[in-house]
């Protein structure tokens, strides 16, 4: 059970003068149950890449395999693939359309041809998973706040019970509190269900706290792929491409350079605190 | 698929046509369209085709871009051709069952197809070589005399330019929403007409909402910058005719005169 990308290339705009080589020879293996952060600057190809994973875009060259099957084989059931690989787009609240929250979440499972009962059960479970209170279920989705709308939209994808959940910039445009709430909810969901989660972001800070693997994209290629500690060790190179390591990484480096015996590879605030306390002998 | 529509999309390059005053291009486009309906003989269409071909060549825009705009009207074109082909009375050429193709019908169908495609390509030349901003400027200046009749010229020009500007944005938005709904299992392709129409709801509702949201945001941004319509507004770059523009008017007048002469004498 995994997604494999084999020499994937994608060119926007065909053979016109405006052609853009958006993905260059991408080779990735995404095994089951991983929590992955996909990071890159605006225009690095990360959104293009995730649209390949559920077959919305067809690679110009190369192949994509889901559970060992080529998703662009002529007899492959794309609709089923899209229920298994759930993709939440950027600003997903812009896709809401139903008269109430509950019916909107039902849209996905209904399209899968499930029975009414199963559809409603799934919608209810999904809305619970994203932490939306019952009182909102029968309100118009357009009356909700930005953060709530986004939860509804995420629930709309979760209701299809995907094995892989991809979220494209789920925190864009949210305030810090809304951001933390959404990310915590996703982390909790990941823990409870064990599904694969791919979090697309341009913020190292957001991602470092949660994920176990980071893929850094730059100009359509994979630049780094590894555990957060490994990737952030390249913080100078990351800066050159307009990204940065989390702030604690810099603090820890500075502390170490000024003679404090701390490990410099801490990536989250919690780790940094433990390291500093240890160095101060106050464990 | 939706990116294929080129109407209202500026193609940046350097050419004589790009440098022309937008008023010249507007007048020329109108004249060209009128000329398509003035001429009625094959000679006339050949002249129009030559004129159009020269303009395309001069504009330095790849021909592919012009043709792309045609894709959008293929359906309309087809309907026009079919109706003209079968429903024009006259001398019968072929008859199958109750359908008759007449000589006049065939002529009319071909003529209509040529007219429509020239019309689209002709206006594409204008929109591809003129930025929406200068297009509005040109329109505003051209229509200024109408102010005497209390026509809100500036406002109309502003609305037009906003509409043009938003075509590509809304297309992109449509593409995005479509993908998002496909990711949720929506199916826009299969089924009969009723099902297809129903399938559009998840696309159209978000699209309308987003259009209203954008309109609202834009209005707010305009007001925040003290926009209040046409009175006493001055331009940073006022339009001025250059020698090049006068020459272009000359060429245009010659072309138009030729079309009229062809109509009268041929």
Task: Provide the greatest CA pair distance for chain A.
Answer: 65
Which residues in chain A have Cβ-Cβ distances shorter than 8 Å to B179?
51, 56, 89
User: What sign for the dihedral angle of Cα A62, A65, A68, A74?
Assistant: negative
Residues 6+ apart with CB under 8 A from A8: A23, A25, A26, A27, A52, A59, A61, A62, A63, A64
Query: ipTM of the assembly?
Result: 0.85
Same domain, B260 and B193: no
Cβ distance of B180 and A82 shorter than 8 Å:
no
Between CA A68 and CA A91 the distance in angstroms is: 32
How many A-B residue pairs are in contact by the CB < 8 A criterion?
A: 59
Are residues B228 and B138 part of one domain? yes
Q: According to the model, what pLDDT value does residue A156 have?
A: 93
Q: Report pLDDT digits (tens) over A29-62.
A: 999 999 999 998 888 889 899 999 988 999 999 9
**Confidence (pLDDT) at B1:** 41
Cα pseudo-dihedral B131, B136, B142, B143, rounded to 10: 160
| 3-class SS of residue B236 | coil
Answer yes or no: do B119 and B243 share one domain: yes
Which residue from A minimizes the CA distance to B185?
A: A111
Contacts of B205 in chain A (CB under 8 A): 97
Say what the pLDDT of residue A15 is. Answer: 59
- Residues on chain A bordering chain B, Cβ-to-Cβ distance under 8 angstroms: 13, 16-17, 51, 54, 56, 79, 82-83, 86-87, 89, 92, 94-97, 107-108, 110-112, 142, 156-157, 160
- Which residues does chain A have within 8 Å of residue B202's beta carbon, measured at their own beta carbons? 95, 97, 107
What is the nearest CA distance from B180 to chain A, expressed in angstroms?
A: 6
- Do residues B5 and B18 share a domain? yes
- Pair B126, B136 in one domain: no
How far CA A163 is from CA of A82, A128, B212, in Å, comes to: 10, 18, 36
From B173, B62, B78, B79, select the one nearest B121 (Cα to Cα).
B62
| Number of neighbours of residue A215 by Cβ within 10 angstroms | 23
The answer to whether the CB atoms of B182 and A56 lie below 8 A apart is: yes
Domain span at B143: 132-233
Give the C-alpha separation, B70 to B66, whole Å: 7
Distance of CA A275 to the CA centre of its chain: 29
Q: B210 and B86, same structural domain?
A: no
Q: A95 vs B185: CB contact, 8 Å cut-off?
A: no
Distant-in-sequence, close-in-space partners of A85: CB < 8 Å, separation ≥ 6: A3, A53, A54, A66, A162, A163, A164, A166
Q: pLDDT class for A283, splitting at 50, 70, 90?
A: low
Element (H, E) at B249: helix B243-265
Chain B residues closer than 8 Å to A149 by CB: none
Chain B neighbors of A83, CB-CB under 8 A: 185
pLDDT tens-digit readout, A132-168: 888 999 999 988 988 899 999 999 999 999 999 999 9
> Are residues B246 and B192 part of one domain?
no
Q: Are residues B228 and B112 in the same domain?
A: no
Residue A225 exposed, middle or buried by CB count within 10 Å (0-12, 13-18, 19+): middle
Query: Residue A17 and residue B62: Cβ atoms within 8 Å?
Result: yes
Check whether residue B170 and residue B74 sit in a common domain: no
Assess whether pLDDT exceeds 90 at residue A127. Answer: yes
Q: Do residue B247 and residue B220 come from a single domain?
A: no
Low-confidence ranges of chain B (pLDDT < 70): 1-9
Q: What is the pLDDT of residue B8?
A: 53
Whether B25 and B121 share a structural domain? yes
Look at B201 and A54 and tell me if their CB atoms are within 8 Å. Answer: no
Three-state secondary-structure class, residue A88: strand
Q: Are B59 and B75 in contact (CB under 8 A)?
A: no
Q: Return the residue of B nearest to A53 by Cα.
A: B183
List CB contacts (< 8 A) between B128 and chain A: none
The pTM of the whole model exceeds 0.80: no
- A82 and B183: CB-CB below 8 Å? yes
Going by pLDDT thresholds of 50, 70 and 90, the confidence category of residue A282 is: confident
A232: Cβ contacts below 8 Å, ≥ 6 apart: A204, A208, A238, A245, A246, A249, A265, A267
- What is the tens place of the pLDDT at every residue in A48-97? 999 999 889 999 999 999 988 899 888 888 888 888 999 999 888 888 98
CB distance B183–A79 less than 8 Å? no
Name the DSSP class of A89: P
Q: A75 Cβ partners below 8 Å, 6+ apart? A: none
The count of domains in chain B is: 2
Q: Smallest CA–CA separation between B211 and chain A, in Å?
A: 11
pLDDT at A124: 94
Rounded-to-integer distance, Cα A222 and Cα A48, Å = 13
Per-residue model confidence (pLDDT) at position A179: 87
List residues of B whose CB lies inside 8 A of any A CB: 3, 62, 64, 176-177, 179-187, 201-202, 205-206, 209-210
Residue of chain B with shortest Cα separation from A78 = B185
pLDDT at A64: 93
What pLDDT score was predicted for residue B21?
A: 92
Q: What is the pLDDT of residue A145?
A: 87
Q: Do B187 and A111 touch (CB under 8 A)?
A: yes
What is the distance between the alpha carbons of residues B137 and B160, in angstroms, rounded to a whole number? 11
Indicate if B87 and B173 belong to the same structural domain: no
By CA distance, what is A157's nearest residue in B? Answer: B184
Q: What local confidence, expressed as pLDDT, does residue B265 receive?
A: 84
């Amino acid at each position: 059970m995994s997604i494999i990308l084999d020499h994937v290339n994608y060119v926007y705009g065909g053979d016109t003068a405006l052609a853009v080589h958006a993905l260059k020879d991408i080779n990735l293996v995404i095994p089951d149950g991983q929590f992955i952060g996909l990071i890159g600057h605006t225009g690095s190809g990360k959104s293009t890449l995730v649209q390949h994973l559920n077959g919305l875009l067809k690679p110009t060259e190369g192949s994509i395999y889901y559970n060992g099957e080529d998703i662009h084989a002529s007899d492959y059931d794309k609709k089923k693939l899209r229920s298994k690989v759930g993709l939440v787009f950027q600003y997903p609240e812009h896709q809401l359309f139903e008269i109430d929250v509950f019916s909107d979440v039902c849209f996905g499972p209904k399209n899968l041809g499930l029975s009414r009962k199963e559809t409603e059960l799934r919608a209810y479970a999904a809305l619970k998973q994203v932490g939306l209170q019952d009182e909102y279920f029968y309100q118009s989705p357009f009356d909700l706040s930005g953060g709530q709308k986004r939860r509804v939209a995420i629930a709309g994808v979760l209701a299809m019970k995907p094995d892989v959940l991809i979220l494209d910039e789920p925190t864009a445009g949210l305030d810090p509190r809304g951001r933390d709430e959404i990310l915590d909810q996703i982390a909790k969901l990941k823990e409870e269900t064990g599904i694969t989660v791919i979090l697309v972001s341009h913020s190292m800070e957001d991602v470092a706290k949660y994920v176990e693997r980071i893929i850094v994209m730059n100009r359509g290629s994979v630049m780094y792929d590894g555990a957060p500690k490994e990737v952030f060790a390249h913080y100078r190179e990351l800066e050159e491409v307009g990204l940065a390591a989390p702030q604690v990484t810099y603090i820890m480096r500075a502390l170490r350079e000024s003679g404090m015996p701390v490990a410099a590879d801490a990536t989250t605030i919690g780790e940094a605190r433990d390291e500093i306390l240890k160095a101060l002998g106050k464990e | 698929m939706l990116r294929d529509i080129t109407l209202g999309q500026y193609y940046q390059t350097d050419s004589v046509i790009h440098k022309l005053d937008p008023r010249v291009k507007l007048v020329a486009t109108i004249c060209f369209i009128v000329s398509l309906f003035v001429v009625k003989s094959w000679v006339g269409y050949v002249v129009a085709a030559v004129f159009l071909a020269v303009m395309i060549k001069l504009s330095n825009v790849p021909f592919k871009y012009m043709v792309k705009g045609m894709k959008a009207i293929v359906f309309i074109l087809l309907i026009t051709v079919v109706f003209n082909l079968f429903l024009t009375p006259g001398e019968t050429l072929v008859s199958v069952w109750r359908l008759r193709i007449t000589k006049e019908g065939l002529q009319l169908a071909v003529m209509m197809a040529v007219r429509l495609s020239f019309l689209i390509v002709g206006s594409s030349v204008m929109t591809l070589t003129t930025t929406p901003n200068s297009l509005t400027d040109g329109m505003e200046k051209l229509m200024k005399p109408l102010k005497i009749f209390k026509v809100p010229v500036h406002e109309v020009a502003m609305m037009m330019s906003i509409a043009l500007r938003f075509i590509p944005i809304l297309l992109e938005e449509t593409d995005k929403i479509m993908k998002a709904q496909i990711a949720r299992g929506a199916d826009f392709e299969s089924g009969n007409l009723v099902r297809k129409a129903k399938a559009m709801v998840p696309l159209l509702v978000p699209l309308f909402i987003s259009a209203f949201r954008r309109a609202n945001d834009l209005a707010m941004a305009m007001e925040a910058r003290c926009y209040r319509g046409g009175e006493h507004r001055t331009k940073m770059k006022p339009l001025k005719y250059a020698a090049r523009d006068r020459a272009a008017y000359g060429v245009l007048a010659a072309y138009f005169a030729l079309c009229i002469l062809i109509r009268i004498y041929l």
